[in-house]
Structure 1
Amino acid sequence: MVISLEEMGKKARQSAFELAQTPTSLKNAVLNKMADALIEKEEEILTQNRLDLEKASEMPQNFTDRLTLDHDRILGMAEGLRQVASLPDPIGNEDSAWVNHAGLQIAKRRIPLGVVGMIYEARPNVTVDAAGLCFKSGNAVILRGGKEALRTNVKLCEILRTVVASSGLDENAVQIIQETSHEIANQFMQLTDYLDVLIPRGSARLIKAVVNNAKVPVIETGAGNCHLYVDKDAEFDMAEKIVVNAKCQRPSVCNAAEKLLIHEDVAEKFLPRVAQALEERHVELRGDERACAILGSRCRPATVEDWDTEYNDYILTIGIVDSLDEAILHINQHSTHHSESIITENYRASQRFLNEIDSACVYVNASTRFTDGFEFGFGAEIGIATQKLHARGPMGLNELTTIKYVIRGDGQVRE
């Protein structure tokens, strides 16, 4: 039976009220049961995932990589839920408290956002990550994944809902939209009576569509045009290792490096070396005039569009810069404000990079691949926010809360 969006919204609103009052111990128990259920139902999940992959067989490899589940990835999703269960519950925490001039006791208290809407593409892990984080933070969630992962997402949601119901709570804390048309997506983005916030996760095209069409408040998660800058004082062994990891470890994800900038003082020595390491891993190299002059036919001239493109593939564009100033200016101009890294032994250069790069996550001597809720100790993430509102970077439990002021008096009236 197909349920209307309005009906789903009503059920989510009712469930959110119940969930906001649910004790931490029960929420943690349910999350651990969810993790157990994923492992127990692994073959059922993989069967549905194989059916999705069969229909997506003509899609690019970077797309099917995000869609594919296997034993290790299911274990990873389960571990993410267990980590979320082990984290402190932000609900009810008081950020601050004071007594005003009239003797009123004022406290700033953490509460759930309410009902969270998720729109995402072929990433089944988002189904579990979003459900777990929203559940722990006291929010109901309505999920709308891409059609390519529909069977997998529906099976995952079914498993999670069964656990919630068997624990005596309202299973509508987690719901999934099974109609994948654009019309339904647009209606979902305008469900202002029931959704408190909408979080898109996926390509730049998807995020732009949500931002442009939604009437519900949006927390904008970002595409990842991530940069590495190899400074003139970089240690070459470290730099090579970081570049190869950031580009090649999993190129289909948003925290993979897409651009490499190299200081002109070290370009002649470092670029051929790192190019060889990248070519051995089948990375296509594109570059500016100076990079192409050094690498010759091994490097294809970059277009204007290349500098602003997130490839999610084995492609890297390389630029040679005259100075740290030029590197910072270039990154701030072309970045999607996701993750950037400098490789240097120069402390002053590293501090300037940290202070002046306008991105959610800024690294010194480390791979951008660490921009991840799991790696940051959040258990999972609901997305990586590149905006500048209340959430920025990997979004964990705290970013799924808001505040209310609780005021206690003993008869005060305002004169």
Structure 2
Amino acid sequence: MNTLLSIETRNAVLRKMAVLLETERVAIIKINKADLEAYDGDDISMYDRLKVDDSKVDDMIASVTHLASQKDPVGIERFSFKHENGMQVYNKTASFGTVLIIYESRPDVTVEAAGIAFKSGNKILLKGGKESLKSNLKIVDLWHQALKENNASTDWVEYLQFNRKETQAFLENPTQKVDLIVPRGGEKLISFVKQHATCPVIISGRGNNFLYVHKEADQQMALDIIINAKTAKISACNALDKVLIDKNLPNKDAFIKGLVLKLKEFKVEIFGDDAISKYDGVKAIESDDIWYQEFLDYKIAMAEIDSNEVAIAMINKYSGGHSSSIITSNYDVAKVFMENVDTAAAYHNVSTRFTDGGQLGLGGELAISTDKLHQRGPIGLEHLVTNKWYVHGNGQIR
């Protein structure tokens, strides 16, 4: 069993990781090129996530540096109570123990998610996708170097080189203790983990995010936000997939034409309901199933609707429970929307692209949870803990 590392050691390992990522920058990018060249899939979002360039390495360095500067999330007192019999009761945060992160294509997860779990006092098991194996093994080597230089066991970060069959066997009957599993990837990966895991799983990552253009929207703002949320990073789970337009929007015709034109500039394929498919360049929606789909691609679906209530109902029926946004100058309407949409993050006059631990002030995130238990939305350092009761006495019996 690994005894909890002191916060000083955990921080020293993270700081050393930042140094090693800088000194090994060229080697990491070179090794990643081999992974990219070997990738034979045509999934553009997968390729985008797989690629490591200078800015990705910068982000990795920033992530571990920031983590090293944050206070210890373990051992924080959440509640205290003095019993009438003299017992002193405390409830404090505690580490989970061992966290297994299963992910696809993203070598940066090997640094950022592992870093959060490590700082929270956990042993890390990493199971990355075969497409990023070389990149991941190189980064795990750096973790081991950082641990050794700080007299910590390399067991704290372990990479599982399992194929699908071996992964399934491990999930169903782990050969070592696993306290929490975090799948990072598409819906297939998440349902595979849910189906086979025998310990708690944090479900994260499915987007299918909606934006509602209310009749009192600033239309230029709406246009800018839709373009940003749809096109800035199509591989992100916080990207926009669906737009609902109020049928009472003033100059609605001009707004829709302008929006279609702008989306076409970015080569976005547009699907519309009966009202919107009559515009040039918009394909008719053939099945309501499209409203359930997360695209992760240059695609968008749009509909004309009657009211805030209809927007809320559609979002609650079809969305992935991740992020939703309303564009309106009416604060009361926005308040009703934000309180009633069943998503982890609700936005007013803001792009959905901000559902991200770094952007929401957490410094980074292990995952973006669409579950309601434990923690919802970005899971940062202070959320990757459980709790424990400490009771001090001098012989009390009940």
What TM-score does the superposition give when structure 1 sets the normalisation length?
A: 0.92
Matches within 5 A, 1:29-108: 29-108=12-91
What residue in structure 2 maps to residue 279 of structure 1?
264
- Residue 25 of structure 1, CA deviation: 2.6
Residues 226 and 335, structure 1, Cα contact 8 Å, conserved in 2: yes
Deviation, 1:411, is 2.1
Looking at structure 2, the residues matched to 377 and 26 of structure 1 have their Cα atoms a distance apart, in angstroms, of: 25
Mapped contact 1:340–1:362 kept (Cα < 8 A):
yes
Identity between Structure 1 and Structure 2 (%): 37
Match of 1:309 in 2: 293
Distance 2:70 2:369 in 1: 21
Residue 213 of structure 1 corresponds to 196
Q: Which amino acid aligns with 1:186?
A: Q
- Partner residue of 2:178? 195
Is residue 253 of structure 1 aligned with residue 221 of structure 2?
no
**2:217 corresponding residue in structure 1:** 234
Q: Contact 1:255–1:338 at 8 Å: present in 2 too?
A: yes
For the residues of structure 2 that align with 1:257 and 1:153, how far apart are their CA atoms? 29
> Matched residues in 1 for 2:43 and 2:292: separation?
20
Which whole-Å deviations, capped at 9, do the CAs of 1:168-195 have from their partners, x for residues lacking one? 111111111123x111111221345510
Distance, in Å, in 2 between the alignment partners of 1:335 and 1:102 is: 52
Q: Distance between the aligned counterparts of 1:36 and 1:53, measured in 2?
A: 25
Q: Does 1:140 align with 2:123?
A: yes
Residues 164 and 170 in structure 1, CA contact (< 8 A), matched pair in contact too = yes
Kept in 2, the 8 Å contact 1:154–1:178? The answer is: no
Alpha-carbon distance, 1:83 to partner: 1.3
Cα root mean square deviation, aligned: 1.3
Unaligned runs of 5+ in 1: 1-13
For residue 30 of structure 1, give the secondary structure of its aligned residue in structure 2. helix
Give the letter for the 1:316 counterpart.
I
Indicate if the aligned counterparts of 2:274 and 2:284 stay in contact, CA closer than 8 A: no
Match of 1:124 in 2: 107
Contact 1:83–1:378 under 8 Å retained in 2: no
Change (3 A) 1:302 1:367: farther
Counterpart residue number, 1:400: 384
TM-score using structure 2 length = 0.96
- SS of the residue corresponding to residue 95 of structure 1 reads strand
Q: Distance in 1 between matches of 2:84 and 2:269?
A: 66
- Structure 2 SS opposite 1:223: coil
Cα distance per residue 1:222-270 (max 9 Å; x no partner): 3111111111111011111110110000011111011111111124232
Residue 296 (structure 1) shift: 3.5
CA deviation digits over 1:331-377, x for unaligned, max 9?
00001101111111111111011100111111111111111112122
1:243 equivalent in structure 2: 226
Measured against aligned partners, the alpha-carbon deviations of 1:47-92 in whole angstroms (never above 9, x if no partner) come to 2211111111443222101110100111011101111112221111
- Aligned mates of 2:172, 2:138 — CA distance in 1: 26
Is 1:288 the counterpart of 2:259 in the alignment?
A: no
Amino acid at match of 1:270: F
What amino acid is aligned across from residue 274 of structure 1 in structure 2? Answer: L
Q: Distance in 2 between matches of 1:296 and 1:280?
A: 14
**Aligned-pair CA distance for 1:302:** 4.7
Checking the alignment, whether the CA contact within 8 Å between 1:34 and 1:163 is kept in structure 2 is yes
- Find out whether 1:182 has 2:164 as its counterpart: yes
Q: State the partner residue of 1:10.
A: none
Alignment of 1:348-363 (within 5 A): 348-363=332-347
Q: Please tell me the residue identity of whatever aligns with 1:33.
A: K
What is the number of residues matched between the two proteins? 395
The answer to whether the 8 Å contact 1:121/1:145 transfers is yes
Q: 1:147, 1:302 → 2: CA distance?
A: 36
Change (3 A) 1:144 1:155: same
Would you say the 8 A contact 1:247–1:314 is kept in 2? yes
Deviations 1:202-228 (A, max 9, x none): 001110111111112111113111111
3-state SS of paired residue (2:237)? coil
Counterpart-to-counterpart distance in 2, 1:289 and 1:101: 69
- State the distance in 2 between where 1:402 and 1:191 align: 23
Q: For residue 175 of structure 1, what is the amino acid of its counterpart?
A: E
Please state how far the C-alpha of 1:164 moved relative to its aligned partner.
1.1
Matches within 5 A, 1:143-182: 143-179=126-162, 181-182=163-164
Q: Do the aligned residues in 1 keep the contact of 2:260 with 2:281 (CA within 8 Å)?
A: no
1:116-166 Cα shifts (integer Å, max 9, x gaps): 001111111111112210111000110001111111111111111111111
Q: Per the alignment, do residues 340 and 94 of structure 1 end up closer, same or farther by CA in structure 2, a change over 3 Å counting?
A: same
My pick for the range that moved more, 153-162 or 263-272, is 263-272
Cα distance in 1 for residues equivalent to 2:43 and 2:183: 21
Give 1:336's match in structure 2, choosing from 308, 312, 320: 320
Letter in 1 for 2:137: V
Measured in 2, the distance between the counterparts of 1:395 and 1:66 equals 20
Matches within 5 A, 1:372-383: 372-383=356-367
Q: CA deviation at 1:111?
A: 0.8
Instruction: For residue 275 of structure 2, give the secondary structure of its aligned residue in structure 1.
Output: helix
8 Å CA contact 1:115–1:141 kept in 2: the answer is yes
**Contact 1:190–1:216 (CA<8 Å) still a contact in 2?**
no
Contact in 1 for aligned 2:276/2:282 (Cα 8 Å): no
Stretch of structure 1 that moved more, 31-40 or 191-200:
191-200
Distance 1:413 1:28 in 2: 41
Question: For residues 43 and 61 of structure 1, what CA distance do their matches in structure 2 show?
Answer: 24
Q: Is contact 2:270–2:281 with CA below 8 Å preserved after alignment?
A: no
